[in-house]
């Protein structure tokens, strides 16, 4: 008997979407962009996140089966692009996990009252490697996603967010905007990139990254009581995320100087707020410990999540059977995949040794992750338009306007991504462009190469190995 899924109302849907998408990890990027944060956040919200949510909503209602972007792209552009999508959603975590994990070293440094270590490249590398390998081995032994539950969301987002916001508002009310801060003295021309603020374009890509992954909110679309709740809920969520990031970004930018901002140090503004308000330093210590636990728990959940799409592809014979990506444990995870991604993530972490300066290394990781994720969004946008043209009568409980509107939404998303990436690399160094371009090109082209060299025998071989494995498990059970 099929289990009946309960329907959810508007407020519940908003809460579920916020829990899925909200984070405080990119607030320093927003702060670093200065007064231009408002235009960047506005573009990222309206011309990037909103089109993604609308496209994902229509896809999710047309194909309610489990699969997400991989399924949507497969059904609109074909199996090769679907396979590439699942691959990209996996490999984007290589630089992405290092980028997220880079928040841990300064948090640990603050917790032990050694703030200086947070800016040390070697300390940063060691903490990332130790924490991620511990997480990997724990995922091999336990069902970490089930054990941790909502701990990550509360410890890493909600409680720290309340602390940061209250202290920030209190500090700015008390001291005002520091004239030596990132914001400095206000003038209307600072709201838009010009010759004086053009360097802020380097933060446009990281700001866009705030919304990556928000398309997964569409998995709830079949559970909503009224289909009209979806666009309403999405709009409310996007408005909330806009204010969450701009308010806290503004508060940090009002008290931190441009030469001292640390992009991977979430606790930095709290330390500054404590000094302005004359509060005890243990507040920053507690904040650091909470966020450290929260980020570690989130990393643990993400360590096993994206690999599920690779397991699915491997069971279809899309990877060489000898890789053993198809072999899973009692929790549905592949130890080979967990070990492989931990090894590659460790190599990506070496960016903190190869590139001098924490901020520069951090931006390299964010840019590489954003390019890979945006490739998925380009596939989705093209597939969205193609499906409208190819199958206009396909049942879509949630439909985004007519065909013209569909074309408009898809083109707006592609243009926004193009402009964001061009702007980011235009103000960066040539070396930054070369590194990110090489990494992105290799990882985007590899899945299409796999499709070309794939042998038909792989599928039969995997089936035989899986049958043999299941037979052995049955014997053990007896």
Identify the CATH number of the domain in which residue 95 sits.
Answer: 1.20.1740.10
Closest among 420, 379, 439 to 91, alpha carbons compared? 439
The CA-CA-CA angle for residues 98, 119, 152, to 5°, reads: 45
- Cα–Cα distance for residue pair 58/72, rounded to 1 Å: 10
Give, in order, the Cα–Cα distances in Å from 291 to each of 158, 260, 269, 288: 10, 21, 14, 5
Across the chain, mean pLDDT equals 89
pLDDT in tens, the chain (478 residues): 444 557 888 988 888 888 777 788 889 999 999 999 999 999 999 999 999 999 999 999 999 877 789 999 999 999 999 999 999 999 999 999 999 899 999 999 999 999 899 889 999 999 999 999 999 999 898 877 666 656 767 777 788 999 999 999 999 999 999 999 999 999 888 888 866 667 788 899 889 989 988 998 887 888 889 998 999 999 999 999 999 999 999 999 999 999 999 998 999 999 999 999 999 999 999 999 999 988 888 788 778 778 888 888 898 898 989 999 999 988 888 999 999 999 999 999 998 988 877 788 888 888 899 999 999 999 999 999 999 999 999 999 999 999 999 999 999 999 999 998 888 888 878 888 888 899 899 999 999 998 888 888 999 999 999 988 877 654 554 5
What is the extent of the structural domain holding 283? 10-466
Angle, vertex CA 463, rays to CA 459 and CA 469, nearest 5? 145
Q: Is residue 434 part of a domain?
A: yes
The pLDDT tens digits of the residues spanning 197-215 come to 677 888 998 899 899 889 9
**Alpha-carbon gap, residue 207 to 229, rounded angstroms:** 27
Examine residue 105 and state whether it is found in any structural domain, yes or no.
yes
CA dihedral for 414, 419, 422, 428, sign (positive or negative): negative
User: Is-contact 362 102, C-beta < 8 A?
Assistant: yes
- Quick check: is 424 in a domain? yes
478 located within any domain? no
Is residue 268 within 8 A of residue 275, CB to CB? The reply is no
β strands within 295-426, DSSP E: none
Structural domain contains residue 421:
yes
The answer as to whether 5 is a domain residue is no
Asked if residue 441 is part of any domain, the answer here is yes
Q: At what angle do helices 358-390 and 93-101 cross, to 10 degrees?
A: 140
In a domain, 165, yes or no: yes
Assessment of whether the complete model's pTM goes beyond 0.85: yes
28: phi then psi, degrees, rounded to nearest 5: -60, -35
User: Could you give the number of structural domains in the chain?
Assistant: 1
Cα–Cα distance list, 85 to 90, 152, 192, 386, 445 (Å) = 9, 27, 35, 16, 11
């Amino acid at each position: 008997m099929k289990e009946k899924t309960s329907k959810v109302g508007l407020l519940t849907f908003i809460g579920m979407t916020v829990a899925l998408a909200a984070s405080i990890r990119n607030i320093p990027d927003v702060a670093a962009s200065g007064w231009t944060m408002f235009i960047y956040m506005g573009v990222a919200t309206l011309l990037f996140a909103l089109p993604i949510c609308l496209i994902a909503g229509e896809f999710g209602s047309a194909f309610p089966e489990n699969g997400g972007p991989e399924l949507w792209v497969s059904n609109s552009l074909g199996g090769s692009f679907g396979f590439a999508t699942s691959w990209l959603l996996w490999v984007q975590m290589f630089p992405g996990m290092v980028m997220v994990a880079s928040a841990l070293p300064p948090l640990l440094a603050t917790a032990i009252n050694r703030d200086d270590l947070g800016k040390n490249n070697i300390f940063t590398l060691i903490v990332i490697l130790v924490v991620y390998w511990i997480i990997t081995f724990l995922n091999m032994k336990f069902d970490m996603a089930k054990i941790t539950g909502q701990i990550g969301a509360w410890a890493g987002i909600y409680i720290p967010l309340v602390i940061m916001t209250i202290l920030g508002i209190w500090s700015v009310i008390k001291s005002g905007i520091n004239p030596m801060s990132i914001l400095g003295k206000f003038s209307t021309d600072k709201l838009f990139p010009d010759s004086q603020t053009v360097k802020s374009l380097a933060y446009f890509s990281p700001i866009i990254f705030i919304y990556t992954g928000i398309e997964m909110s569409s998995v709830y679309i079949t559970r909503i009581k009224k289909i009209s709740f979806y666009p309403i809920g999405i709009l409310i969520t996007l408005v909330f995320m806009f204010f969450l990031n701009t308010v806290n970004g503004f508060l940090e930018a009002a008290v931190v100087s441009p030469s001292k901002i640390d992009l991977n140090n979430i606790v930095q503004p709290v330390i500054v707020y404590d000094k302005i308000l004359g509060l005890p330093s243990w507040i920053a210590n507690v904040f650091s410990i909470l966020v450290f636990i929260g980020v570690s728990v989130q990393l643990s959940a993400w360590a096993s999540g994206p690999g599920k799409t690779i397991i699915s592809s491997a069971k279809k014979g899309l990877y060489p059977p000898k890789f053993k990506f198809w072999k899973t444990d009692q929790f549905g995870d592949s130890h080979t995949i967990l070990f492989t991604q931990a090894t590659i993530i460790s190599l990506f972490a070496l960016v903190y040794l190869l590139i001098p300066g924490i901020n520069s290394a951090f931006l390299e990781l964010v840019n590489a992750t954003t390019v890979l994720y945006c490739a998925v969004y380009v596939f989705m946008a093209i597939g969205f338009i193609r499906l409208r043209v190819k199958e206009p009568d396909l049942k879509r409980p949630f439909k985004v306007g007519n065909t013209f509107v569909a074309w408009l939404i898809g083109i707006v998303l592609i243009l926004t991504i193009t402009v964001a990436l061009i702007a980011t690399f235009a103000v960066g160094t040539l070396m930054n462009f070369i590194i990110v371009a090489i990494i992105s090109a290799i990882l985007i082209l590899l899945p299409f190469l796999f499709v070309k060299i794939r042998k038909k025998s792989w599928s039969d071989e995997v089936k035989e190995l899986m049958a043999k494995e299941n037979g052995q498990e049955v014997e053990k059970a007896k």
